[in-house]
């Protein structure tokens, strides 16, 4: 993926500077979409429990400025694949077809994973804008996708192992008559 990189961030100001930098990258034919994924890991130093949250931003509108036809019929292949995946998920399909395009692979976790997803659609204020029809059809399909409810792992592996070891110790003590 052109321009894709992973950066460890430890301060809010560093994260803000990276987001600002990403938002100022112009769309191009080679890289028409803006994709930002921010993973936040927090840990409880007393218990060892940790949690990870991931926030993904995908701006797909850049493809229009990169030369895609405005009628929605001849979108970039990655947008067509995304539309097919969303339609398949909306129909409850078991194999939505994320493979084959980086865009659908990058959005797989957000679309079918343990996540909450929000789709924000922007439309042209011009009544004659033909892309609005395709955009609204996509938004309608996206609204019908049912993602399983996010679950939270309540305890860390370390906590689970400690509990298992304590139970094993109690059983061993009981077995030896102690």
The predicted-structure confidence for 78-136, as pLDDT tens digits, reads as follows 888 888 898 888 888 777 788 888 888 888 888 887 777 888 887 777 766 666 777 88
Instruction: Give the dihedral sign, CA 79/16/2/37.
Output: negative
Global pTM exceeds 0.85: no
Q: Maximum Cα–Cα distance for the chain, whole Å? A: 85
Asked whether the predicted pLDDT for residue 57 surpasses 80, the reply is yes
137, 129 Cβ separation under 8 angstroms = no
Can you tell me the distance from the alpha carbon of 112 to that of 146, in angstroms, rounded to the nearest whole number?
Answer: 9
CA distance 96 to 90: 10
User: 110 - beta bridge partners?
Assistant: none
Residue with more model confidence, 25 or 156: 25
């Amino acid at each position: 993926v052109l321009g894709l990189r992973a950066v460890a961030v430890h301060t809010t100001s560093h994260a803000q500077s990276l987001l600002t930098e990403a938002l100022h990258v112009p769309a191009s034919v080679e890289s028409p979409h803006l994709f930002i994924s921010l993973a936040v890991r927090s840990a409880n130093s007393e218990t060892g429990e940790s949690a990870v949250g991931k926030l993904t931003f995908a701006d797909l509108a850049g493809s229009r400025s990169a030369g895609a036809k405005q009628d929605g019929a001849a979108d970039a292949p990655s947008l067509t694949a995304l539309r097919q995946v969303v339609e398949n998920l909306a129909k409850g399909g078991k194999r939505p077809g994320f493979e084959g395009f980086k865009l659908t692979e990058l959005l797989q976790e957000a679309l079918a994973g343990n996540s909450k997803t929000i789709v924000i659609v922007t439309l042209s204020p011009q009544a004659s804008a033909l892309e609005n029809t395709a955009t609204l059809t996509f938004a309608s399909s996206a609204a019908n996708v049912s993602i399983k409810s996010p679950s939270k792992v309540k305890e860390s592996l370390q906590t689970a192992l400690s509990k298992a070891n304590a139970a094993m110790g109690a059983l061993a003590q009981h077995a030896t008559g102690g």
